[in-house]
C-alpha cells in the first residue's frame, strides 16, 4: 500500500512593517500656475477682498517628478500638500532611508497618525423627537438670541454671500432632515468631499456633522432658527472615520483646508480637536501640530477658522484646549451654561502652552440641534463653535471687506466682558448690538466699583449707584467681606466656580439699613483676575454679588507689576500694583 508523503507548508513571509512619514521637498522650481483655472470664482473674490495676491508660492503645485520618485520608493502616498510642499506616505525603514537620498527631498520625518476628537460630550447617540417641549423651544430661541440674533435679523444679516466649510465625521441624514429643507431646496450645499474614502459622498459615517450644521442653518418646523447663518452657502467635508469613537488623522484636516480654500470658503468651522491621544499639554502652543500650522495657513489665505475649545475641562489629566484651538489666529470657542451664563464645567480651559488667551470667546454649550428622528438637547463645545461661526458670518456680511484678523479682533471686542478676560470665558459672549454699534473710546460707561487699598488688603466695593436694583439696595458689610484665601496666594488658575455668598455676621454698626438678604434680587456676577506684568493670569474667579463689599484681596498675594481687573455690569476697572 502506497502512502503519500506529507505536504510541507510553505513558510510565511513576513513583510517589514511600515510607518507613516512626512516628506518635505526642497522647492517648486519650474512649476507654472494659473490661479483663475485652479481657484473657483468665490475663492478669487475672497482674495481680492482680503487684498491678497491672486496666488503665492504655497498655492503652486508640488513638482510631479518629485512625487513620482516618492511613489516609486514607498508603499503608498496618502497626501500631497501644496501649502507645505510636502508628501505624506507609508514606508519601511529601508525605504525611508532611500527617500532621504533623493535629490528633491529636504527631510523625512516619522509622523504617526494622530487621532481627532470631536468636541461633543461622550455618550450614546439619542434619537430625537419631532415633539418639542416648551423648554426645548425656549432653548432653541435662547441659543441664538443670547448672541443677538434679533439685532442681526433686523439688520438683514443672515450670512448671505458667505461660504462656510464644516469639517466633521459625517453628515448622515442631512438632506432628508426637515431642519434643512430650505437649505437643500435652495441648493446652498455647494460642494462636498469625503477625505477618508476619497469621494464626494459625505452623508455617511456619523451624524455629528449634521448636528453641527443645524447650529448654523437648521430650523424647527415652526421656522425658529437654530443658528445665525441660514442664508450662507456650505462646503461639507468629512475628515474622520466611521463614528465618534474612531478618529482620522491630521492630514485629512489639512487636505480639507486646501480644498476649502480652492472652493472659496470664507469661514471654516472645526468642531474637532487633538489632545492627549498623541500630544502633551505643553505642546498646545500653536506651532507643534500639523493641524495648528494648517489652520494658521488657512487664515493667511483670508479664511476665518473657528474651532471648538474641547470638552476636557473636567479631565484632571488634561483640562486644557486641544489643537488646532491652540493656534494664535484661530477663534477658539468655549462652552457657556445656559442656566447660569457661566463657563460650563466640561468646556476646556486655557491658556495655550505659551500662555496666550484661550478660549477667545464663549457661546452656549448646551443646545437644541437636529438629530436622527427630529431634535434633541445635546452638549459640547462642538455646538458653541458653529453658533459663533454663524455670528461671524453675519458680522462679515455687514462689513464684507474687513480683513480677516480685523474681524477676529472685533469679534473679541464685541463680547460682553471685554476688555476683561479669563481662561474659562475668554472675553465672554459676543453681542450683535455691540458689533453693529460699537462703543467709541471714552464712552465705556460709569465705574461700578471702587478699589480701597488698606494696610493688609485691597477691598473692592460696589459703588452705591451700581448697587441699586429693583426695590433693593445692596448692603455694605465691610466687616464680613470674605478675604480671598488664607495664604499669600489666591484662587488657582482654572478654579472659576461661583463663590457662595458670604455668610452674614453681626455688625457693630451699619451705615445704612440692612435689607433682608433673602429678598435681594441678584444683579449679576463680578468677574476678577490678577495678571502679572506680562498680562498672564495668575488667578481668576467669578463671584455672585449679594452685598457691596464684595472682595478683599490680601496685599501679600500681590506682586510688583500685577494688575487686578474687575468686571461688573459690563464695566472693567483696573488696579495696578507698583
- Lowest-confidence segment of 166-170, 228-232, 449-453, 480-484 by average pLDDT: 480-484
Average pLDDT over residues 444-449: 86
**Residue 177 appears among annotated catalytic residues:** no
- Lowest-confidence segment of 137-141, 214-218, 334-338, 506-510 by average pLDDT: 506-510
Dihedral angle computed from the Cα positions of residues 42, 43, 44 and 50, in that order, rounded to the nearest 10 degrees: 110
- Specify the CATH number of the domain 134-436: 3.40.50.200
pLDDT value at residue 508: 40
Contact assessment for residue 349 and residue 425, using Cβ atoms and an 8 Å cutoff: no
Rg of the chain over Cα atoms, rounded to whole angstroms, equals 27
pLDDT value at residue 322: 87
pLDDT value at residue 19: 87
Do the domains 448-465+522-577 and 134-436 match in fold? no
* Contacts of 570 by beta carbon, 8 Å cutoff, 6+ apart: 416, 417, 445
Longest dimension (CA), the chain: 120
Look at residue 504 and tell me whether its pLDDT is greater than 70: no
- Lowest-confidence segment of 126-140, 396-410, 439-453, 516-530 by average pLDDT: 516-530
Active-site pick, 382, 385, 491, 539: 382
Average pLDDT over residues 496-525: 45
What is the percentage of the chain residues whose pLDDT exceeds 90?
72
Which pLDDT band holds residue 321 (cuts at 50, 70, 90)?
confident
* For the chain, domain boundaries: 19-111, 134-436, 448-465+522-577
Task: Determine the distance from the C-alpha atom of residue 144 to the mean position of all C-alpha atoms in its chain, rounded to a whole number.
Answer: 17
Average pLDDT over residues 135-151: 96
| b/e map 459-491, b = 16+ CB within 10 Å | bbbbeeebbeeeeeebbbbbeebeebeeeeebb
Give the whole-angstrom CA distance, residue 195 versus residue 251. Answer: 9
Average pLDDT over residues 257-268: 98
Reported as a single tens digit per residue, the pLDDT across 385-421 is: 999 999 999 999 999 999 999 999 999 999 999 999 9
Place of cell 497618525: 113
pLDDT value at residue 500: 44
- Lowest-confidence segment of 45-49, 94-98, 464-468, 540-544 by average pLDDT: 464-468
pLDDT value at residue 250: 84
- Main-chain phi, psi angles of 45, to 5 degrees: -65, -40
Reported as a single tens digit per residue, the pLDDT across 24-77 is: 999 999 999 999 999 999 999 999 999 999 999 999 999 999 999 999 999 899
Closest alpha carbon to 117 in 325, 331, 374:
325
Reported as a single tens digit per residue, the pLDDT across 88-129 is: 999 999 999 999 999 999 999 987 655 555 555 555 455 789
Query: Mean pLDDT score of the chain, rounded to an integer?
Result: 87
Q: At what angle do helices 404-413 and 381-398 cross, to 10 degrees?
A: 110
* Contacts of 120 by beta carbon, 8 Å cutoff, 6+ apart: 208, 211, 244, 271, 311, 378, 379, 380, 382, 383
163 to each of 42, 191, 214, 411, 482, how far by Cα in Å? 8, 10, 15, 18, 51
Between 560 and 205, the higher pLDDT residue = 560
pLDDT value at residue 7: 52
Active-site pick, 81, 146, 149, 208: 208
554 CB neighbour count, 10 Å cutoff: 17
Look at residue 286 and tell me whether its pLDDT is greater than 90: no
What secondary structure letter does DSSP report for 71? H
Task: Output the DSSP codes for 127-150.
Answer: P-BS---HHHHHHHHHHHHTTTHH
Between 303 and 318, the higher pLDDT residue = 303
What is the percentage of the chain residues whose pLDDT exceeds 70?
84
pLDDT value at residue 489: 44
pLDDT value at residue 281: 74
The reply to whether the predicted model has a pTM over 0.85 is yes
- CATH number (1.10.10, 2.30.29, 2.60.40, 3.40.1000) of 448-465+522-577 reads 2.60.40
Active-site pick, 168, 194, 266, 312: 168
Average pLDDT over residues 368-396: 96
pLDDT value at residue 495: 40
Look at residue 247 and tell me whether its pLDDT is greater than 50: no
Look at residue 470 and tell me whether its pLDDT is greater than 50: yes
* Contacts of 503 by beta carbon, 8 Å cutoff, 6+ apart: 480
Look at residue 516 and tell me whether its pLDDT is greater than 60: no
Strands 449-453 and 457-462: antiparallel
SS3 225: strand
For residue 51 the three cell numbers come to 487684498
Amino acid at each position: 500500500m502506497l502512502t503519500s508523503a506529507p505536504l510541507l507548508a510553505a513558510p510565511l513571509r513576513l513583510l517589514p512593517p511600515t510607518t507613516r512619514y512626512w516628506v518635505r521637498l526642497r522647492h517648486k522650481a519650474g512649476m507654472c500656475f494659473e490661479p483663475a483655472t485652479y481657484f473657483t470664482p468665490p475663492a478669487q473674490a475672497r482674495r481680492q477682498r482680503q487684498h491678497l495676491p491672486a496666488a503665492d508660492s504655497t498655492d503652486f503645485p508640488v513638482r510631479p517628478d518629485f512625487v513620482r520618485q516618492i511613489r516609486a520608493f514607498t508603499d503608498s502616498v496618502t497626501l500631497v500638500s501644496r501649502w507645505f510642499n510636502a508628501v505624506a506616505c507609508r514606508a519601511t525603514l529601508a525605504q525611508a532611508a532611500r527617500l532621504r537620498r533623493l535629490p528633491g527631498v529636504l527631510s523625512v520625518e516619522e509622523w504617526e497618525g494622530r487621532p481627532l476628537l470631536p468636541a461633543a460630550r461622550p455618550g450614546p447617540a439619542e434619537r430625537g423627537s419631532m415633539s418639542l417641549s416648551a423648554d426645548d423651544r425656549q432653548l432653541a430661541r435662547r441659543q441664538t438670541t443670547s448672541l443677538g440674533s434679533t439685532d442681526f435679523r433686523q439688520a438683514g444679516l443672515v450670512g448671505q454671500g458667505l461660504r462656510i466649510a464644516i469639517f466633521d465625521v459625517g453628515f448622515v441624514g442631512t438632506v432628508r432632515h426637515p431642519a434643512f429643507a430650505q437649505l437643500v431646496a435652495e441648493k446652498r450645499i455647494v460642494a462636498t468631499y469625503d477625505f477618508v474614502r476619497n469621494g464626494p459622498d459625505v452623508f455617511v459615517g456619523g451624524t455629528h456633522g449634521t448636528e453641527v450644521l443645524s447650529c448654523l442653518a437648521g430650523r424647527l418646523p415652526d421656522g425658529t432658527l437654530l443658528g445665525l447663518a441660514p442664508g450662507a452657502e456650505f462646503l461639507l467635508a468629512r475628515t474622520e472615520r466611521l463614528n465618534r469613537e474612531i478618529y482620522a488623522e491630521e492630514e485629512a484636516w489639512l487636505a480639507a483646508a486646501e480644498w476649502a480654500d480652492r472652493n472659496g470658503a470664507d469661514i471654516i468651522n472645526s468642531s474637532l480637536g487633538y489632545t492627549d491621544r498623541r500630544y502633551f499639554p505643553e505642546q498646545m502652543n500653536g506651532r507643534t501640530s500639523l493641524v495648528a500650522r494648517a489652520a494658521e495657513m488657512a487664515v493667511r489665505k483670508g479664511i476665518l477658522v473657528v474651532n471648538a475649545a474641547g470638552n476636557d475641562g473636567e479631565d484632571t489629566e488634561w483640562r486644557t484646549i486641544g489643537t488646532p484651538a491652540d493656534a494664535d489666529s484661530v477663534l477658539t470657542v468655549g462652552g457657556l451654561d445656559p442656566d447660569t451664563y457661566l463657563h460650563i464645567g466640561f468646556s476646556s480651559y486655557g491658556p495655550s502652552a505659551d500662555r496666550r488667551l484661550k478660549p477667545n470667546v464663549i457661546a452656549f454649550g448646551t443646545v437644541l440641534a437636529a438629530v436622527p428622528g427630529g431634535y434633541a438637547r445635546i452638549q459640547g463645545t462642538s455646538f458653541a463653535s458653529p453658533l459663533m461661526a454663524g455670528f461671524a458670518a453675519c458680522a462679515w456680511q455687514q462689513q464684507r471687506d474687513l480683513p480677516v484678523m480685523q474681524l477676529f479682533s472685533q469679534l473679541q471686542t464685541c463680547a460682553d466682558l471685554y476688555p476683561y478676560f479669563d481662561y474659562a470665558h475668554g472675553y465672554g459672549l459676543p453681542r450683535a448690538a455691540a458689533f453693529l454699534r460699537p462703543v467709541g473710546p471714552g464712552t465705556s460707561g460709569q465705574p461700578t466699583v471702587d478699589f480701597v487699598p488698606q494696610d493688609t488688603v485691597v477691598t473692592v466695593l460696589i459703588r452705591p449707584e451700581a448697587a441699586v436694583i429693583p426695590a433693593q439696595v445692596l448692603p455694605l458689610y465691610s466687616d464680613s467681606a470674605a478675604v480671598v484665601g488664607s495664604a499669600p496666594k489666591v484662587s488657582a488658575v482654572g478654579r472659576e466656580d461661583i463663590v457662595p455668598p458670604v455668610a452674614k455676621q453681626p455688625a457693630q454698626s451699619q451705615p445704612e439699613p440692612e435689607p433682608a438678604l433673602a429678598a435681594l434680587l441678584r444683579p449679576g456676577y463680578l468677574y476678577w483676575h490678577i495678571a502679572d506684568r506680562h498680562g498672564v493670569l495668575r488667578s481668576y474667579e467669578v463671584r455672585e454679588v449679594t452685598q457691596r463689599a464684595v472682595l478683599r484681596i490680601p496685599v501679600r498675594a500681590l506682586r510688583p507689576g500685577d494688575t487686578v481687573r474687575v468686571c461688573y455690569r459690563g464695566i472693567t476697572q483696573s488696579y495696578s500694583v507698583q
